[in-house]
Amino acid sequence: MERTKALQIVKEALTEKRYIHTVGVMETAIQLANRFGADTQKAEIAAIFHDYAKFRPVEEMRHIIITQHMASDLVEHNEELWHAPVGAFLVEKEVGVKDSEILDAIKYHTSGRINMTLLDKVIFLADYIEPGRDFPGVEEVRQSAKENLDIAVVQSLRNTIQFLLKRNQRIYPKTVDAYNDLLLKIKGGNKG
């Protein structure tokens, strides 16, 4: 799908602020894809559509999660997570994107997962560090992203987990699993 058409589709589904964020994620994803050897066209499309379902009604998202037999524990966790898997489903059904790698990158951009693909990491990180983001720890992650994708993703996962802990909020198990899995890979399998 051509960039202009994809951006036109998402612009209709997003607020102006979220659209600006999406353009920042797209530009950051392309930079990361070039830097770390991911497919730039897939990164571009996944980034454009990563928040496609962000403003869908909560009840519609809940219905899709239940009827499409998505992760059974998803509805028990923060609704902020829902737009990612619901978005992947809707991008396939409504937009016609069929590439499973793109759809997975959309699906896991909020939670992460075990064995994240290169594209998963690029979209996850681009969403976290795009230029419009401004919160404690983001600059450190941006610096790491210049050198090592995995370390930057681990830092962003750690920051997210710490943020949720400070607010006494539940942490989605896939996020903890993604953190543990990637940390173990970085340390070369050394469990110590």
Q: What residue spans define the domains of the chain?
A: 3-134
Structure tokens, 162: 């710490």
Integer CA distances (angstroms), 58 to 8, 83, 86, 156, 190, in order: 24, 9, 11, 26, 42
Please tell me whether the overall predicted TM-score, pTM, comes out greater than 0.85 for this model: yes
Whether 192 has a pLDDT exceeding 70, the answer reads no
Q: Give the tens place of pLDDT for each residue, 16-75.
A: 999 999 999 999 999 999 999 999 999 999 999 999 999 999 999 999 999 999 877 888
What CA–CA distance (Å, rounded) separates 21 from 19?
A: 5
- Distance, in Å, from the CA atom of 141 to the CA atom of 122, rounded to the nearest integer, reads 13
Mean confidence (pLDDT) of the chain: 95
Q: What is the DSSP string of 113-176?
A: -TT--HHHHHHHHHHHHSTT--STTHHHHHHHHTT-HHHHHHHHHHHHHHHHHHTT----HHHH
Sign of CA dihedral 94, 114, 82, 13: negative
Looking up tokens 């590439």 gives 99
Topology (CATH) of 3-134: Hypothetical protein af1432 (1.10.3210)
